Structure 1
């Protein structure tokens, strides 16, 4: 088999909304530049995701020199400008972490509240915000637990071969997609180099109900697919279901689509039970 290559790079500026495909990207300690640097919360500061508000996956972002431009079904276009953000910081909750986050503006709060039909607020990972990966001296954005997620095309193909209705890679929300490797080869990788960056694969990614949300319709699959099928061959002893690998970047640098993926070192892959 020819060398493994990077085939897709995706950043998700707003947690749980649509990703933006990039031809090249700067990788920082927190992951891809701008990835999960915005989060939507309830009025108490608890984060909101597509797990409970699946319509978020239909919110489209475009990056500009001064901020973002947002579009969503039935909503007027919204321009987000960094210079208009408030100077107020408030603690927001992402899982068990409390992060001091910069409140953006009442106008943006109202836009998301109207779209979701739910009172909410919108925050940015400002210069005074700080969060670390658990157990590692490594900065983190509003991502679930790790800065980056990698999945191979072969792994998705192996899953889709078991599904009645194939799913798109977008339902798993990876930052990095690679091709020209065996299915689940990434399970055994420990350190890899892509472009200028060395990555350490620190943990398989446990999957939840969010993977059942169709990225085009914003609706959940009633049969809980593909999670139900994944459970049959990707459930570990801890009863979690895993698909994809969490990464941290060991240095900052640039990567681009077409870069070779160099496997620097390997480790024993997680074991999974298989059920009928």
Structure 2
């Protein structure tokens, strides 16, 4: 081989290596990155088991859940003797409308005067209490006697209190919530009054498929998703392990969302469906191990790995 032939051979080797590297990289990207749809709806539920804020088109997804204009998702909660109360105990909770009004958090319900609470009340020795959610204790602010009387009157039960979880107080850890199976929650991941996770994601097509099987329209809001995604196949969310939303947000799957009797409560009149729908139908095709025949799944629980702003219309990408 002459001296003039060596550079040509070397160039060919380099070019071949480069193309191989690029090819492997593109193949790897095709294997792990997939556009799955767009954000169609954002829901923030400030008071646990009450109505969502209306007309939300943007919110921040944080390491404490969704926050919309200073109002946090499930940062207020009704308690009785320190234990959390939800729709399974008080169906009328779903009739309470939540609104931000200036520097106040406002509750409205039929037959009641509006209740206005400071968005972020001062934490003092007098209002600091311990509450329990899913048997796990955490500190919270008691919102006072007037708020307690308002809640007790509307829910027709004496002895109820209204509590708030301010940003300055430590939260529960997802890993402390008792489960009979292993989840993908990581140590140090905190939740306010959410059951378990920062954000519940569900697909529009999943709700549509369920509606076909029930043979009537099932409102997505009965499943209380935080983020709804359009443009997918039914139950596509089952396979998502890492979810990127918009430019910055990164969410990580930590568990399937097991469904209960709350899904049978009508969000308009607070009445349970007499046939137990749509839960009855879910049990016929959405049960899997290790949850058993009484806990069908729909939607996924996710925790936040990278915070950011979510908007209706944002692209959703999954990484396997």
Q: Which moved more, 1:179-188 or 1:62-71?
A: 62-71
Alignment of 1:109-188 (within 5 A): 109-119=148-158, 120-126=160-166, 127-134=168-175, 135-136=185-186, 137-188=188-239
Structure 1 residue 164, shift from structure 2 partner: 3.1
Higher-Rg structure is 2
CA contact (8 A) 1:85 1:103 kept: no
Query: How much does 1:84 deviate?
Result: 5.5
Determine if the alignment matches structure 1 residue 49 to structure 2 residue 86.
yes
Instruction: State the partner residue of 1:202.
Output: 254
8 Å Cα contact 1:197-1:254 kept in structure 2: yes
Q: CA deviation at 1:140?
A: 0.5
Structure-to-structure mapping, 1:205-224, within 5 angstroms: 205-224=257-276
Q: Does residue 64 of structure 2 align to residue 25 of structure 1?
A: no
Establish whether residue 90 from structure 1 lines up as the match of residue 129 from structure 2.
yes
Task: Quickly say closer, same or farther: Cα 1:252–1:98, change in 2 above 3 A.
Answer: same
| Residue 250 of structure 1: aligned partner | 305
Deviations 1:124-172 (A, max 9, x none): 1022242111152211010111111011000001100011332100100
Other structure's SS at 2:268 match: coil
DSSP 3-state at the match of 1:232: helix
> Do 2:36 and 2:318's aligned partners in 1 also have CA atoms closer than 8 Å?
no
Please provide the CA RMSD for this pair: 1.6
TM-score normalised by L of structure 1: 0.92
Distance (whole Å) between structure 2 residues aligned to residue 93 and residue 107 of structure 1: 22
In structure 2, the residue matched to 1:272 is: none
Q: Is the 8 A contact 1:70 1:78 kept in 2?
A: yes
Asked if the contact 2:94–2:270 (Cα under 8 Å) also holds between the matched residues in 1, the reply is: yes
C-alpha separation between the residues in 2 aligned to 1:82 and 1:163? 40
TM-score by length of 2: 0.79
Instruction: Find the aligned partners of 2:174 and 2:128 in 1 and give their Cα distance.
Output: 21
User: In 1, Cα distance between the equivalents of 2:245 and 2:120?
Assistant: 34
Instruction: Give the unaligned 5+ runs of structure 2.
Output: 1-34, 176-184
The structural deviation recorded for 1:256 is 0.4
Task: Name the residue aligned to 1:191.
Answer: 242
Deviates more, 1:134-143 or 1:150-159: 134-143
2:139 pairs with 1:100: yes
| 1: CA distance, partners of 2:146 / 2:174 | 32
Measure, in 1, the Cα distance between the counterparts of 2:207 and 2:90.
25
Matched, 1:264 2:304: no
Q: Could you tell me which residue of structure 2 aligns to residue 270 of structure 1?
A: none
Q: Deviations over 1:79-129 (max 9, x none)?
A: 112466662211111112111111111111110000001120011102224
Q: Secondary structure at the match of 1:217?
A: coil
